[in-house]
């Protein structure tokens, strides 16, 4: 771990080598420990550390970039010179208004000393407990447990000097029998927040209850989606249209829905069920909190969907400049457009058992897998269920079913939300991207085939 003083000193030194009219440097550093396991035993322990400097240099209406993890004076100077050279080679961009001058971000608490200092022995104890649960039922157990520290910092020629350090912990569990599989995933910035025994029970129960599945006819079914499936929906909606760049380029699912509740005298017109409220809040401590983005801009709460009405995408400085507005602090990575990366869906008042009990005949889906965009309009996705799919009959889970393929608009799926779960779960998809979501009951979901 570098620490605040060392990180900012490195970036100040780098900025001193800039030959551009403007420049900023984004530092991303990680120290991670990872224990992989399979066949009921750990087969790999990895300790990984890396520090990357991401440089932007401005010449007029031109912007150049360079990246390095060579932190020597020669390496840093080379990266700064490369960014400036790349800027001079770029065509002018009339939409580029310069680098931002953000206010100083607030601090957020996402540091846990026990997680930062977690040893391979501690991870091994977690893995041992999970594997023993699977062994009791004759299951093959595999997965990975990770812990570590992430640091980010930004320094710019506009006076920006921002630093943040946070911890992370994650556990993925796969369980398999001859005819079934189960899966569970947990994550937090505090290792103690993860109930690893409960995650083990969850993965084991899906594999045990899912043995000897039977095929059902494809078609439209009411569905109860557990949190992992709902996470997939929010992640896809984010990646394929919650950012202003996609909206401005006309390739977002939002394009047909923005402002429906505020135009044409149709107050309350909705793209989704009134039970659906989604927002992004980068500093919320019950998510994956980070106080500023890769430009050093403070991350703002953005109410993206309110009671089914689509309100607004999220912005970085470039897309905000195009509309004469301000960045919401959503330049999540060094390159690319703005991304809503700390998403929340409002909980409802139904337990998972009540969601299932409200279904006369339908499918309980615990997880989607290998989902891909089929069409940007209304975010049509294709994929399959996996690791625990069950038939619901007369309000009860009756038997496991073979996994189903689907092609379904996620916007239309959320238009059919009938009930929302009362408990939410934090799902860390990768470092820096998280959702906190409840389970959902949907009126209809389009299954197109049965997997082999």
- Residue 139 contacts residue 131 (beta carbons within 8 Å): no
Judgement on whether residues 191 and 237 belong to the same structural domain of the protein: no
Enter the tokens of residue 328. 């919401």
Q: Is the pLDDT of residue 121 over 80?
A: yes
Please count the other Cβ atoms lying within 10 Å of the Cβ belonging to residue 124: 16
352: part of which helix (H) or strand (E)? helix 352-357
Judgement on whether residues 302 and 158 belong to the same structural domain of the protein: no
For 15, list phi and psi in degrees, rounded to 5: -60, -30
**44, burial (CB in 10 Å: exposed 0-12, middle 13-18, buried 19+):** exposed
406: part of which helix (H) or strand (E)? strand 404-409
User: Distance between CA 142 and CA 145 in Å, rounded?
Assistant: 10
Mean of per-residue pLDDT scores for the chain = 95
Judgement on whether residues 232 and 125 belong to the same structural domain of the protein: no
pLDDT tens figures, 69-118: 999 999 999 999 999 999 999 999 999 999 999 999 999 999 999 999 99
Cα–Cα–Cα angle for 173, 113, 119, nearest 5°?
50
At residue 264, the pLDDT reads 35
User: Distance between CA 17 and CA 21 in Å, rounded?
Assistant: 12
User: Distance between CA 302 and CA 382 in Å, rounded?
Assistant: 28
**Domain stops at, among 177, 209, 241:** 209
pLDDT tens figures, 368-377: 999 999 999 9
Judgement on whether residues 201 and 289 belong to the same structural domain of the protein: no
The single residue listed with the structure tokens 């440089």 is 55
At residue 432, the pLDDT reads 73
Q: What's the average model confidence in pLDDT over 437-444?
A: 98
- What CATH number does the domain containing 27 carry? 3.30.2290.10
User: Distance between CA 210 and CA 207 in Å, rounded?
Assistant: 5
**Domain stops at, among 209, 231, 266:** 209
Counting residues of the chain whose pLDDT is more than 90, the rounded percentage is: 96
**Domain stops at, among 159, 180, 209:** 209
Lowest mean pLDDT among 170-184, 237-251, 396-410, 420-434: 420-434
Secondary structure (3-state) at 122: helix
288 domain residue, yes or no: yes
Judgement on whether residues 168 and 259 belong to the same structural domain of the protein: no
At residue 75, the pLDDT reads 98
User: Distance between CA 409 and CA 385 in Å, rounded?
Assistant: 15
Enter the tokens of residue 70. 């060579």
Q: Is the pLDDT of residue 265 over 60?
A: no
**pLDDT band at 431; cut points 50, 70, 90:** low
Domain that holds residue 301: 219-450
Judgement on whether residues 286 and 141 belong to the same structural domain of the protein: no
264 domain residue, yes or no: yes
Q: Is the pLDDT of residue 261 over 70?
A: no
Judgement on whether residues 147 and 259 belong to the same structural domain of the protein: no
Judgement on whether residues 199 and 238 belong to the same structural domain of the protein: no
**60, burial (CB in 10 Å: exposed 0-12, middle 13-18, buried 19+):** middle
User: Distance between CA 268 and CA 259 in Å, rounded?
Assistant: 10
Q: Is the pLDDT of residue 401 over 90?
A: yes
Enter the tokens of residue 382. 């294709």
User: Distance between CA 10 and CA 18 in Å, rounded?
Assistant: 13
Say how many Å lie between the first and final Cα of the chain, rounded. Answer: 47
Judgement on whether residues 63 and 198 belong to the same structural domain of the protein: yes
User: Distance between CA 410 and CA 229 in Å, rounded?
Assistant: 11
Specify the length of the chain in residues.
452
Lowest mean pLDDT among 233-247, 261-275, 427-441: 261-275
214 domain residue, yes or no: no
Closest CA to 73 of 114, 14, 132, 124: 14
pLDDT tens figures, 3-24: 999 999 999 999 999 999 999 9
At residue 260, the pLDDT reads 56
User: Distance between CA 83 and CA 89 in Å, rounded?
Assistant: 10
At residue 262, the pLDDT reads 40
Cα–Cα–Cα angle for 288, 371, 389, nearest 5°?
90
**pLDDT band at 452; cut points 50, 70, 90:** confident
Question: β-strand 342-345 against 433-450: which pairing, if any?
Answer: parallel
Judgement on whether residues 202 and 180 belong to the same structural domain of the protein: yes
Domain count for the chain, please give it. 2
Angle between helices 4-15 and 73-89 (to 10 degrees): 50
């Amino acid at each position: 771990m570098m620490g605040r003083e060392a990180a900012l000193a490195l970036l100040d030194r780098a900025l001193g080598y800039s030959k551009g009219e403007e420049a900023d440097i984004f530092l991303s550093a990680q120290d991670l420990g990872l224990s992989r396991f399979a066949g009921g035993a750990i087969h790999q322990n990895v300790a990984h550390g890396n520090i990357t400097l991401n440089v932007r240099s401005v010449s007029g209406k031109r912007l150049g970039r360079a990246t390095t993890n060579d932190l020597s004076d020669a390496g840093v100077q080379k990266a700064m010179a490369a960014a400036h050279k790349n800027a001079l080679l770029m065509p002018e961009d009339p939409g580029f208004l310069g680098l931002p001058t953000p206010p100083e971000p607030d601090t957020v608490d996402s540091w846990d000393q026990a997680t930062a200092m977690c040893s391979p022995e501690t991870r091994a104890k977690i893995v041992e407990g999970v594997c023993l649960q699977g062994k009791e039922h004759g299951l093959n157990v595999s997965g990975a447990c990770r812990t570590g520290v992430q640091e980010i910092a930004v320094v710019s020629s506009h006076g920006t000097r921002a630093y943040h350090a946070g911890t992370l912990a994650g556990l993925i569990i796969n369980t398999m029998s001859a005819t079934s599989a189960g899966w569970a995933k947990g994550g937090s910035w505090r290792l103690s927040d993860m109930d690893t025994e409960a995650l083990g029970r969850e993965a084991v129960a899906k594999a045990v209850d899912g043995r000897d599945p039977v095929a059902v006819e494809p078609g439209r079914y009411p569905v109860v989606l557990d949190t992992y499936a709902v996470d997939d929906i929010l992640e896809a909606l984010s990646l394929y249209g919650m950012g202003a760049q996609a909206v401005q380029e006309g390739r977002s699912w939002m394009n047909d829905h923005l402002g429906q509740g505020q135009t044409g005298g149709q107050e309350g017109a909705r793209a989704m069920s009134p039970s659906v409220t989604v927002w992004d809040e980068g500093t919320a401590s019950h998510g994956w909190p980070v106080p500023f983005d890769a430009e050093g801009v403070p991350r703002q709460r953005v109410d993206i969907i309110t009671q089914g009405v689509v309100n607004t995408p999220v912005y970085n400085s470039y897309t905000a400049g195009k509309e004469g507005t301000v960045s919401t602090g959503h330049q999540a990575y060094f390159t690319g457009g703005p991304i809503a990366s700390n998403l929340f869906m409002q909980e409802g008042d139904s337990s998972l058992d009540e969601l299932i009990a409200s279904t006369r005949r339908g499918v309980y889906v615990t997880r989607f897998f290998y989902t891909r965009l089929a069409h940007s309009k209304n975010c049509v996705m294709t994929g399959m269920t996996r690791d625990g799919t069950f038939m619901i009959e007369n309000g009860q889970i009756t038997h496991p079913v073979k996994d189903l393929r689907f092609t379904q608009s996620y916007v239309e799926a959320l238009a059919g939300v009938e009930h929302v779960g009362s408990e939410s779960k934090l799902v860390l998809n990768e470092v820096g991207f998280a959702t906190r979501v409840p389970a959902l009951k949907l009126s209809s979901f389009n299954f197109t085939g049965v997997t082999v």
